[in-house]
């Protein structure tokens, strides 16, 4: 399993016993240190790779699953990042995601576009108006299921997409 944007590592406690190893790609050096401390004595071995989402240092088809959590909004090149994720997933592999996405409300989406330049500078490169689900489909993933919800007035999705077999 590859986890991109592992944050503080708290999600590692949620993985089932079937997960044998977690590879972490985290771009933030502070968060990477936090992840390493959080999983130091955990039951699942954790290793790290360079955090650049566009150039994941792994062979084609290396992972059964990739978990992205609030990270696709901040990658500088979403298209290239999704291509890299698809490359490292096995055929039929799962992309599990929790991301915030562009609002379906036209006025809210316009506001997201308006605040995006300043928001991005203040929030680690986050682009609040990205249409992440459409980008995932354009990258060749098949969206299995997705739940949409609002959290603190921001639209989010929680779902699974797969690489074609």
Q: Go through the domains of the chain in sequence order and give each one's CATH number.
A: 2-101+129-162 (3.40.50.150)
For residue 14, how far is the Cα from the chain centroid? 16
Q: Alpha-carbon distance 31 to 6, whole Å? A: 8
Q: How confident is the model at residue 45 (pLDDT cuts 50, 70, 90)?
A: confident
CA distance 84 to 66: 11
What's the mean per-residue pLDDT of the chain? 86
Q: What is the CA radius of gyration of the chain?
A: 16
**Residue in this structure with the two tokens 């990042």, named with its chain if needed:** 81
- Evaluate if residue 8 carries a pLDDT over 80: no
Is the pTM higher than 0.85?
A: yes
Convert the pLDDT of each residue in 56-81 to its tens digit.
889 999 999 999 988 998 888 999 99
């Amino acid at each position: 399993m590859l986890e991109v944007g592992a944050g503080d590592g708290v999600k590692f406690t949620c993985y089932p016993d079937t997960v044998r190893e977690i590879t972490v790609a985290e771009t933030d050096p502070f968060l990477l240190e936090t992840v390493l401390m959080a999983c130091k004595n955990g039951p699942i071995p954790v290793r790290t790779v360079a955090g650049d989402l566009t150039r994941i240092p792994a062979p084609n088809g290396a992972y059964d699953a990739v978990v992205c959590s609030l990270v696709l909004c901040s990658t500088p090149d979403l298209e290239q990042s999704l291509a890299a994720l698809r490359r490292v997933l096995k055929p039929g592999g799962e992309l599990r995601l929790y991301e915030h996405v562009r609002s379906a409300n036209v006025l809210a989406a316009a506001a997201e576009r308006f605040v995006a330049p300043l928001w991005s500078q203040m929030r680690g490169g986050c682009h609040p108006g990205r249409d992440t689900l459409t980008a995932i489909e354009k990258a060749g993933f098949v969206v299995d299921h997705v739940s949409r919800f609002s959290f603190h007035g921001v639209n989010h999705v929680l779902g699974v997409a797969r690489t074609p077999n």
